[in-house]
C-alpha cells in the first residue's frame, strides 16, 4: 500500500461552530473492514466503530486506541459520583471551542444541551466563545476549562476559588480536570487526521 | 506501582484529589497504560523508541511544566544521550503560548491568530535526520496551533519517510501528552489550592 494523503475536493468544510450532525473525512487511509484482526477488534472496543473512518484510522495502533477509548468512557460515562454529565460535556465543548475543533464541538455541544436542557446557553458558547455570560456555575466551569486549555496550562488558585464558591466538591473538580484534559487528546486527533463535513454523520 | 500522573502531580495518598482520582480507577489505569504503550512499548513498530522519547521530551518542554518536562527529559537522556541536548535546545527555541491558528475562512476569521509554523534549518535537519525533524515540526503544530492542521502537514510527514501507521502513533503520542500534562497540571493546582484553604 502506498501512503498518500486523501483529498475530498467536493467537500465544503463547515466554517462555524454548530450543533448540527457533522461527518468526518479522513486524510489518511483507514483500515478496511476485511483487514481487521482480533487485535484490531479489541482496540475498537465496539463493533459498530468499524463503520467509522475516524476509529478505523486510529485502529492502525489498536492497543493505544483501546486504552484511549477506556479513558474516554470512564471520564465521560462513569456516573458514580462526581460532576454531572452535562457539566463534563460543557467542559468538552468549551475546550473544543478554544482549540478550534468544529467537529468535536458539534458532538459534545449536542450532549451538553441534551443533558442540561440549556440549548440557548450552549449555542451562545458556540457562537461567541468562552467569555460569553453563562451564569455563575457554568461561567466558573468554562473559565477553568479554558484556563487549562492554554499552553502552558494556566489553571490558577482563583479558578479553584470560583469552583469552590459554586459548591463543586473535590470529586467534581477532579472530573472537570479530567474531562477538560481529555479533549486535548481528542481535539488534536480530530483536527489533524481529517476534516469535518456538513454531509452528516 | 504508582502511576505517572499521580507521581508527577505529587498527590498525597488519601487526599481528596487522590481519592477522587481513585474513583476514576479505569481512567487512571488506562492513562498509565497509554503512557506505557506509547513510551515503553514492547514492540516499537513503525515509530522507534528514540523517536517516541525525543518527541515526548520536545512536547513536554513546550508545555513548560517543570516536573513533567524533567521526567521526559530524563527519559530521552537515558535513551540517547547524544541526541538529547539537540532536541532539548530545539524545544526551548520553539516554546511559546498556545493555542493559536486560523479557522476555516468565514464568520470565525476575526478570531484568527495566525503565526509562523516551526521549521528546522537545513543544518538542524541534518543533525537529527529528516524523519525526526518532520516529527518535531508536526508535534509543534499539534501542541501549539492545532487548528492549523492540514493535509499538507501530513504530506510533509509522508515525504520525510513516515507511513500511515507511524503517523497515527505519532499523533496519538502528541495528543496523549497534551492530555496527561494537563491532568498533572490540574491535579497539582487543585491539591495546592485545597491545602491552602482551611477546611
- SS3 for B21-48 is HHCCHHHHHHHHHHHHHHHCCCCCCCCC
% residues pLDDT > 90 (chain A): 95
Q: What is the mean pLDDT of chain B?
A: 96
pLDDT at B199: 52
- A42 touching chain B per CB within 8 A: no
Q: Do residue A181 and residue B169 have CB atoms under 8 angstroms apart? A: no
Rounded CA separation B93/B96 (Å): 9
Q: Do residue B19 and residue A149 have CB atoms under 8 angstroms apart? A: no
pLDDT in tens, A100-132: 999 999 999 999 999 999 999 999 999 999 999
Question: To which H or E segment does residue A110 belong?
Answer: helix A102-116
- A61 touching chain B per CB within 8 A: yes
Cβ-based neighbours of A117, under 8 Å, separated by 6 or more: none
SS (H, E, C) A131-197: CCCCCHHHHHHHHHHHHHHCECCCCCHHHHHHHHHCCCCHHHHHHHHHHHHHHHHHHHHHHHHEEEE
Structural domains in chain B, sorted by start? 4-17+32-98+116-188 (1.20.1290.10)
pLDDT at B94: 97
Whether residues A166 and A91 fall in one domain: yes
For A:95-114, CB contacts with B below 8 A are 98-102
CATH classification at residue A151: 1.20.1290.10
- B182 touching chain A per CB within 8 A: yes
pLDDT at A161: 97
The interface pTM score, or ipTM, of the predicted complex is 0.97
The residue written with cell numbers 469535518 in the block is: A196
Asked whether B131 and B83 are in contact (CB, 8 A), the reply is no
- Dihedral class, residue A188 (left if φ above 0, else alpha if ψ from -120 to 50, else beta): alpha
Q: Is the pLDDT of residue B56 over 90?
A: yes
Average pLDDT over residues B104-129: 97
Asked whether residue A114 is domain-assigned, the answer is yes
Rounded CA separation A105/A112 (Å): 10
Asked whether residue A124 is domain-assigned, the answer is yes
Whether residues A47 and A126 fall in one domain: no
Whether residues A71 and A86 fall in one domain: no
Asked whether residue A17 is domain-assigned, the answer is no
Whether residues A185 and A119 fall in one domain: yes
Asked whether A67 and B32 are in contact (CB, 8 A), the reply is no
Report the gap between the CA of B121 and the closest CA in chain A (Å): 24
Q: Closest Cα to residue A152, out of B143, B55, B81, B109?
A: B143
Total structural domains within chain A: 2
Rounded CA separation B69/B97 (Å): 16
For B:45-64, CB contacts with A below 8 A are 45, 62-64
Q: A15, A46, A75 — which closes off a domain?
A: A75
Asked whether residue A13 is domain-assigned, the answer is no
Whether residues A106 and A63 fall in one domain: no
Rounded CA separation A72/A67 (Å): 9
Rounded CA separation B191/B10 (Å): 9
pLDDT at A198: 93
Whether residues A31 and A115 fall in one domain: no
Asked whether residue A155 is domain-assigned, the answer is yes
For A:9-28, CB contacts with B below 8 A are 13-17, 27-28
Q: Is the pLDDT of residue B1 over 90?
A: no
pLDDT at B196: 78
Which residues of chain A register pLDDT less than 70?
1-2, 199-201
Rounded CA separation A162/A149 (Å): 17
* Disruptive mutation site among A153, A165, A169 for chain B (greatest number of B CBs within 10 Å): A153
Asked whether residue A3 is domain-assigned, the answer is no
Whether residues A169 and A127 fall in one domain: yes
Contacts for B11-16: CB closer than 8 Å, 24+ residues apart: B11/B187, B11/B191, B12/B191, B15/B191, B15/B194, B15/B195, B16/A169, B16/A170, B16/A171, B16/B194
Report the gap between the CA of B21 and the closest CA in chain A (Å): 7
pLDDT at B195: 83
Asked whether A140 and A162 are in contact (CB, 8 A), the reply is yes
Asked whether A157 and B181 are in contact (CB, 8 A), the reply is no
Asked whether residue A10 is domain-assigned, the answer is no
Rounded CA separation A62/A55 (Å): 9
% residues pLDDT > 70 (chain A): 98
Asked whether residue A199 is domain-assigned, the answer is no
Whether residues A48 and A138 fall in one domain: no
Whether residues A86 and A185 fall in one domain: yes
Whether residues A92 and A41 fall in one domain: no
User: Which residues, in sequence order, are bridge partners of residue A195?
Assistant: A25
Whether residues A181 and A160 fall in one domain: yes
Q: A75, A90, A105 — which closes off a domain?
A: A75
Whether residues A64 and A118 fall in one domain: no
For B:121-160, CB contacts with A below 8 A are 141-144, 146-147, 149, 151, 153-155, 158
User: Which residues, in sequence order, are bridge partners of residue B98?
Assistant: A151
Q: Which domain holds residue A36?
A: 23-75
**How many Cβ atoms from other residues are within 10 Å of residue B43's Cβ?**
5
Name the 3-class secondary structure at A81.
coil
% residues pLDDT > 70 (chain B): 98
Amino acid at each position: 500500500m502506498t501512503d498518500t494523503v486523501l483529498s475530498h475536493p467536493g467537500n465544503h468544510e463547515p466554517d462555524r461552530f454548530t450543533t448540527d450532525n457533522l461527518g468526518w473525512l479522513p486524510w489518511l487511509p483507514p483500515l478496511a473492514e476485511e483487514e481487521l484482526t482480533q487485535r484490531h477488534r479489541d482496540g475498537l472496543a465496539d463493533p459498530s466503530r468499524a463503520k467509522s473512518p475516524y476509529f478505523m484510522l486510529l485502529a492502525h495502533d489498536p492497543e493505544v486506541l483501546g486504552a484511549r477509548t477506556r479513558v474516554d468512557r470512564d471520564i465521560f460515562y462513569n456516573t458514580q459520583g462526581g460532576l454531572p454529565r452535562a457539566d463534563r460535556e460543557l467542559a468538552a465543548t468549551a475546550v473544543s471551542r478554544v482549540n478550534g475543533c468544529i467537529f468535536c464541538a458539534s458532538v459534545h455541544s449536542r450532549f451538553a444541551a441534551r443533558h442540561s436542557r440549556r440549548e440557548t446557553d450552549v449555542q451562545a458558547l458556540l457562537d461567541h466563545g468562552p467569555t460569553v455570560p453563562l451564569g455563575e456555575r457554568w461561567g466558573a466551569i468554562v473559565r477553568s476549562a479554558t484556563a487549562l486549555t492554554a499552553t502552558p496550562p494556566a489553571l490558577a488558585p482563583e479558578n479553584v476559588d470560583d469552583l469552590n464558591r459554586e459548591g463543586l466538591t473535590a470529586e467534581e473538580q477532579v472530573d472537570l480536570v479530567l474531562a477538560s484534559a481529555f479533549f486535548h487528546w481528542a481535539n488534536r486527533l480530530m483536527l489533524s487526521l481529517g476534516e469535518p463535513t456538513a454531509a452528516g454523520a | 506501582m504508582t502511576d505517572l500522573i499521580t507521581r508527577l502531580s505529587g498527590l498525597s495518598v488519601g487526599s481528596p484529589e487522590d481519592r477522587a482520582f481513585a474513583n476514576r480507577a479505569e481512567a487512571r489505569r488506562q492513562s498509565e497504560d497509554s503512557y506505557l504503550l506509547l513510551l515503553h512499548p514492547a514492540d516499537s513498530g513503525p515509530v522507534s523508541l528514540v523517536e517516541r522519547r525525543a518527541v515526548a521530551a520536545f512536547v513536554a518542554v513546550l508545555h513548560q511544566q517543570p516536573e513533567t518536562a524533567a521526567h521526559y527529559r530524563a527519559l530521552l537522556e537515558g535513551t540517547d544521550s547524544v541526541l538529547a541536548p539537540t532536541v532539548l535546545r530545539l524545544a526551548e527555541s520553539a516554546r511559546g503560548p498556545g493555542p493559536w491558528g486560523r479557522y476555516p475562512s468565514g464568520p470565525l476569521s476575526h478570531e484568527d491568530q495566525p503565526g509562523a509554523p516551526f521549521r528546522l534549518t537545513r543544518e538542524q535537519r541534518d543533525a537529527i535526520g529528516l524523519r525526526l525533524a518532520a516529527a518535531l515540526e508536526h508535534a509543534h503544530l499539534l501542541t501549539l496551533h492545532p487548528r492549523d492542521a492540514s493535509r499538507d502537514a501530513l504530506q510533509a510527514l509522508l515525504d520525510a519517510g513516515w507511513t500511515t501507521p507511524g503517523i497515527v502513533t505519532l499523533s496519538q503520542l502528541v495528543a496523549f501528552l497534551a492530555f496527561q500534562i494537563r491532568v498533572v497540571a490540574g491535579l497539582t493546582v487543585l491539591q495546592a489550592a485545597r491545602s491552602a484553604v482551611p477546611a
